[in-house]
Amino acid sequence: MERTAVRELRQNASRYIAQVKAGESIEVTERGVPVARLVPLHPSESARNRLVAAGRLIPAKGPRYLPEPVSVEGPSTGTVLDELREDRL
């Protein structure tokens, strides 16, 4: 496992993230003392999967259908906005 200081991580974050994506783990130190570890996230460890496993998220059982938009009587939004703008002048 590679070690790097917080300052070095800040200056070269993209490089370290690329290494983690490639499967490496990186230990982050502050004044030589380990304070964090960057490790690759496995697909099964996604936030959604963790929430489902903990019982805090219930996945949808069917397809997602949205209701049809409701038609509204009266002037359009653009017309109302134009009238409001005219009142300002």
Domains of the chain by range and CATH? 2-53 (3.40.1620.10)
53-68: average pLDDT: 87
The 8-class DSSP code of residue 33 comes to: E
Task: Report DSSP letters for 22-52, one per residue.
Answer: TT--EEEEETTEEEEEE-PPPGGG-HHHHHH
CA dihedral sign, ordered 9, 10, 12, 14: positive
DSSP 8-state class, residue 43: G
Say if residue 29's pLDDT is above 80: yes
Q: pTM for this structure?
A: 0.49
Q: How confident is the model at residue 67 (pLDDT cuts 50, 70, 90)?
A: confident
Q: Which two tokens stand for residue 81?
A: 């906005």
User: What Cα–Cα distance (Å) separates residue 11 from each residue in 6, 19, 22, 73?
Assistant: 9, 15, 19, 58
The whole-number average pLDDT for the span 45-55 is 84
Q: What is the pLDDT of residues 3-26, one digit of tens each?
A: 999 999 999 999 999 999 888 999
Residue 43, pLDDT score? 66
